[in-house]
Amino acid sequence: MLTAEQRAIVQSTVPLLEAGGEALITHFYQRLLGEHPEVRALFNSSHQQSGAQPRALAFSVLMYAKHIDKLENLGNLAC
Protein backbone atom coordinates (compact mmCIF):
# COMPACT_ATOMS: atom_id res chain seq x y z
CA MET A 1 0.00 0.00 0.00
CA LEU A 2 1.32 3.42 -0.91
CA THR A 3 1.55 6.21 1.60
CA ALA A 4 -0.04 9.60 0.94
CA GLU A 5 3.43 11.00 0.28
CA GLN A 6 4.20 8.27 -2.26
CA ARG A 7 0.87 8.89 -4.01
CA ALA A 8 1.67 12.60 -4.21
CA ILE A 9 5.05 11.81 -5.76
CA VAL A 10 3.42 9.59 -8.40
CA GLN A 11 0.77 12.23 -9.13
CA SER A 12 3.46 14.89 -9.51
CA THR A 13 4.87 12.97 -12.50
CA VAL A 14 1.67 13.34 -14.56
CA PRO A 15 2.65 16.59 -16.37
CA LEU A 16 6.04 15.11 -17.32
CA LEU A 17 4.42 11.89 -18.51
CA GLU A 18 1.82 13.81 -20.53
CA ALA A 19 4.49 15.94 -22.21
CA GLY A 20 7.18 13.35 -22.80
CA GLY A 21 6.16 9.94 -21.55
CA GLU A 22 6.41 8.27 -24.92
CA ALA A 23 9.90 9.69 -25.52
CA LEU A 24 10.93 8.56 -22.03
CA ILE A 25 9.67 5.01 -22.57
CA THR A 26 11.21 4.86 -26.06
CA HIS A 27 14.56 5.84 -24.52
CA PHE A 28 14.04 3.20 -21.81
CA TYR A 29 13.52 0.47 -24.41
CA GLN A 30 16.50 1.63 -26.48
CA ARG A 31 18.78 1.49 -23.44
CA LEU A 32 17.34 -1.80 -22.20
CA LEU A 33 17.66 -3.53 -25.55
CA GLY A 34 21.01 -1.90 -26.32
CA GLU A 35 22.62 -2.79 -23.01
CA HIS A 36 20.97 -6.19 -22.62
CA PRO A 37 20.62 -7.69 -26.10
CA GLU A 38 19.83 -11.05 -24.53
CA VAL A 39 16.31 -9.81 -23.72
CA ARG A 40 15.60 -8.61 -27.27
CA ALA A 41 13.90 -11.93 -28.09
CA LEU A 42 11.33 -11.21 -25.36
CA PHE A 43 10.00 -8.22 -27.31
CA ASN A 44 8.15 -8.01 -30.60
CA SER A 45 10.61 -6.20 -32.89
CA SER A 46 7.91 -4.85 -35.22
CA HIS A 47 6.06 -3.36 -32.23
CA GLN A 48 9.31 -1.75 -31.11
CA GLN A 49 10.01 -0.29 -34.56
CA SER A 50 6.46 0.95 -35.12
CA GLY A 51 6.35 2.53 -31.68
CA ALA A 52 3.31 0.48 -30.64
CA GLN A 53 5.00 -1.10 -27.64
CA PRO A 54 6.57 2.07 -26.19
CA ARG A 55 3.32 3.97 -26.84
CA ALA A 56 1.23 1.35 -25.01
CA LEU A 57 3.55 1.26 -22.00
CA ALA A 58 3.74 5.08 -21.86
CA PHE A 59 -0.08 5.27 -21.90
CA SER A 60 -0.37 2.67 -19.15
CA VAL A 61 2.17 4.41 -16.92
CA LEU A 62 0.38 7.72 -17.45
CA MET A 63 -3.02 6.24 -16.63
CA TYR A 64 -1.73 4.62 -13.46
CA ALA A 65 -0.10 7.90 -12.37
CA LYS A 66 -3.25 9.91 -13.15
CA HIS A 67 -5.54 7.49 -11.34
CA ILE A 68 -3.29 6.37 -8.48
CA ASP A 69 -6.13 7.00 -6.01
CA LYS A 70 -8.65 4.93 -7.94
CA LEU A 71 -6.74 2.17 -9.70
CA GLU A 72 -9.77 -0.13 -9.60
CA ASN A 73 -11.34 2.09 -12.29
CA LEU A 74 -8.59 1.28 -14.78
CA GLY A 75 -9.50 -2.34 -15.36
CA ASN A 76 -6.88 -4.29 -17.27
CA LEU A 77 -4.58 -2.01 -19.24
CA ALA A 78 -2.55 -3.88 -21.81
CA CYS A 79 1.07 -2.82 -22.18
Please, are residues 25 and 58 in contact by the beta-carbon 8 Å criterion?
Answer: yes
- Give the C-alpha separation, 12 to 9, whole Å: 5
Q: Measuring CA to CA, which residue among 38, 43, 65 is closest to residue 54?
A: 43
CATH architecture of 4-74: Orthogonal Bundle (1.10)
Confidence bin at 73 (pLDDT 50/70/90) = confident
Q: Where are the domains of the chain?
A: 4-74
Query: Other C-beta atoms within 10 Å of 24: how many?
Result: 16
Confidence bin at 76 (pLDDT 50/70/90) = low
